[in-house]
Amino acid sequence: MSGVLRPVGPEPARTYWVRRAVVLGFVAVALVVLVATIRSLLPPEPTQAVPPPQTSGPAHPDQPASSPTSGGTPSAGGKGGSPTPSSAPGGTPSPKTGGTASAPAPSASAKSPSPSGSSSSSASPSGSASPSGKAGASSPKPSATKDPEPVACDPSDLRLTLIGKRTVRAQKNSKYELSVINGGDEKCVVTIDADTFSLKITSGSDPIWNSRHCERTLKPVTKTLDSQEAHAWTMTWNGERSKKNCKISSATPRPGTYWATAELDGVDPVKWRMMLS
């Protein structure tokens, strides 16, 4: 016990007390964290709803507090005096002198207030003022907005591509792969037909073949392209010299360097170099 109260060791007593304080502090923090963790894991205590206060008013405010007497005999103030009028709501007192006056009994159809009368029916919640009436059913519904119709593509937003063989032969079919790309930010409509597009084969300044000489070499199409979408198609050169109305020239193309050129109205043309053997 003396070792607890009076630390013994090579170091000063203050050092041992500081160490003990630090250890006790860590233990206290650990206990606090442990208690907080246990409380967070426990289910919350159920709360009981407080009932609304009871009102002391009458259940039927339209019902009269007291019902009138319907058959009593009015008392006379003396001999020959006038009787006291009855308080019944449906009868009219008829005073008589010199005798006992009796008030007429109210009929069954007397206008006595009733909780099930016309006043209660007019205050029914199913009347015309109901929030679920015709006013709610006839409220207009918002119309769905439609996307605007795409317009014709701006030629400056379109790009053409052209690919074929590097070596071709005269009087032999050669296929070319073409495409048009919408480089704009919005969708648009492009038309590819004989009036807007042509594929030409040339050798220097010598025109060899033109797709517009024969419209059946190109299948017309109108395509809506999204942004950066491409439309692709293929065309064939028969290796001959063409003439209008789908006719073929008798002159055979000679070997040499040839160029295939794709042109679309307003769009930069593209070329493909090849050798004819």
* Domain span including residue 248: 152-276
Beta bridge partners of 202: 207, 259
Q: For residue 31, give the H/E element and its range.
A: helix 13-41
Q: Name which of 118-127, 146-155, 212-221, 258-267 the model is least confident about.
A: 118-127
Residue 21 lies in a domain: yes
Structurally, the chain folds into a number of domains equal to 2
Question: How confident is the model over 44-51, as a mean pLDDT?
Answer: 58
Residue 63 lies in a domain: no
pTM above 0.85, yes or no: no
Tell me, yes or no, whether 144 lies in a domain. no
DSSP E strands, 86-212: 151-152, 158-163, 167-168, 174-182, 188-192, 197-203, 206-210
pLDDT at 16: 78
Average pLDDT over residues 144-165: 89
Does any domain span residue 49? no
- 110: in domain: no
- Asked if residue 119 is part of any domain, the answer here is no
Domain with 207 in it: what CATH number? Answer: 2.60.40.10
- Could you tell me if 212 and 152 are in contact, meaning their C-beta atoms sit under 8 angstroms apart? no
pLDDT (tens digit, 9 = 90+) per residue, 193-239?
999 999 999 999 999 999 999 999 999 999 999 999 999 999 999 99
